[in-house]
Chains A and B, each alone.
Chain A
Amino acid sequence: MFVLIVGAGRVGAAVAKYALASGHEVSVMDEDPLSHERLDAGQATTWEEAGGRFTVGTALELDALREAGIEHTDLFIASTDGDNTNLIIAQIAQRQFGVRKVIARVMDPARAAWYREQGLHTISPAQEAIEMFKEALHEHAQAL
């Protein structure tokens, strides 16, 4: 399948490498050209030699999204460092380009929950961390 990842930070870059290694077509977009280095780091070949694509652009630019291949994207991942940016571009991918599967990284648990209710697949790293800390707290309390 064709995966488009917008935002090549720690999360985006790691998911991109994993998706490429898993045999998918992967296109990454970021406004910072230097973020490309994160895709090369620790790899035997460059991102492009390994078959990946990289586009410089901001996610609200429709031309950049098209260049990155949004029109034939099967899975769209919004993983920039801005919750609001991710929520908006995920909806653009869904409504304007009809991407079948869209996932947005939303740090704030409250916004993640409401948009999930609206039918958007959101992943909240903060909420995941909260759950893990709660679990650790219970485990430690039981061990005492």
Chain B
Amino acid sequence: MYAIVVGGGKVGFNLSREMLRRGHEVTLIESSRTRYVTVERELEHSVQYGDGTELWVLERAGVERADLVVAVTGDDEDNMLVSQVAKDKYGCEHIIARVNNPRNYSHFKLLGIQPVVSATDLILRLIEHEVPRYGLVHLLALEDEALQIIEVEVSASAPLLGRPLADISMPDGSLFISVLRNGAGFVPRADTVLESGDRVLAVIEPGREAEIMSMLAPDISQAPA
């Protein structure tokens, strides 16, 4: 696979090094001369000096034949521009963009850029996972597929306690995919009976949260949107 990484900061540098180690062809583009010199000592010919938002710099790096373009500069406008140009001008199929400020997430979406990665967001999700406040954790959103994976802790007042899953009618557009109990996980079957304290992973269509919560944890208020 040939990947172009724009932005040679900590993220771009380490990412490029790991991808090279895995046998991929990588070109890292870095716009600061001093940073370029530092990175070049280790990555040698795999790093190019230049402004990755300039079209000729992307072309020099071979954007037309790139399988993947990763925009991970510290500037969201630059990341949006690189992604948009790589996708719409050069027809690159796979784009991954870094969002520095989570408030800019909607701008990436507006321009059709995804998937996006935000370190702030990832840590926030981990905090939610470690210290759940609302009983429901969004683990993963598959935007294109309009599905998401959530985690819910079954509460003592859940109406489905004591009955096998086969007897329970699931809301449309939802499916339990695994149950975490006493530190171990298993895939639920028709005869599985959920217990209070189980953590259930479910794949649902967006907007089904309330129905799932009423089945698994009716007493817990739902996260504000």
Task: Answer whether residue B110 sits at the interface, using C-beta atoms and an 8 A cutoff.
Answer: yes
**Knowing A60-B107, A92-B110 touch, does A84 contact B88 (C-beta < 8 A)?**
no
Complex Cα distance, B103 from A37, in Å, reads: 30
**Knowing A82-B77, A88-B77, A95-B110 touch, does A114 contact B89 (C-beta < 8 A)?**
yes
| Chain B residues in 8 Å Cβ range of A118 | 88
| Chain A residues in 8 Å Cβ range of B53 | 83-84, 111
Chain A residues touching B, range = 10 to 19
Task: Tally inter-chain residue pairs, CB-CB below 8 A.
Answer: 45
Q: Which of B75-91 contact A (CB under 8 A)?
A: 75-78, 80-81, 85, 88-89
Select from chain A the residue with minimum beta-carbon distance to B54.
Answer: A108
Q: Which of B38-61 contact A (CB under 8 A)?
A: 53-56
| Chain A residues in 8 Å Cβ range of B77 | 60, 82, 84-85, 87-88
Complex Cα distance, B104 from A96, in Å, reads: 13
Chain B facing A: main interface SS: helix
| Chain B residues in 8 Å Cβ range of A114 | 55, 85, 89
* Most chain B beta-carbon contacts within 10 A, residue among A61, A85, A88, A110: A88
Q: Which of A94-117 contact B (CB under 8 A)?
A: 95-96, 108, 110-111, 114
A87 CB contact (under 8 Å) in B55, B76, B81, B88: B81
Select from chain A the residue with minimum beta-carbon distance to B59.
Answer: A110
Select from chain A the residue with minimum beta-carbon distance to B56.
Answer: A110
Q: Does the CB pair A110–B80 fall under 8 Å? A: no
In order of increasing CB-CB distance, the 8 nearest A-B pairs are A84-B81, A84-B77, A110-B55, A85-B77, A88-B77, A88-B80, A84-B78, A84-B53
List 4 extra interface pairs beyond A61-B103, A87-B81, A111-B53, CB under 8 A. Answer: A60-B77, A60-B107, A84-B81, A110-B56
B residues in contact (CB < 8 Å) with A: 53-56, 75-78, 80-81, 85, 88-89, 101, 103-104, 106-107, 110-111
Q: Give me 15 A-to-B residue pairs in the complex whose CB atoms sit less than 8 angstroms apart, sorted by A's number.
A: A60-B76, A60-B101, A60-B103, A61-B103, A62-B106, A85-B77, A87-B77, A88-B77, A88-B80, A91-B110, A92-B107, A108-B54, A108-B55, A111-B55, A118-B88
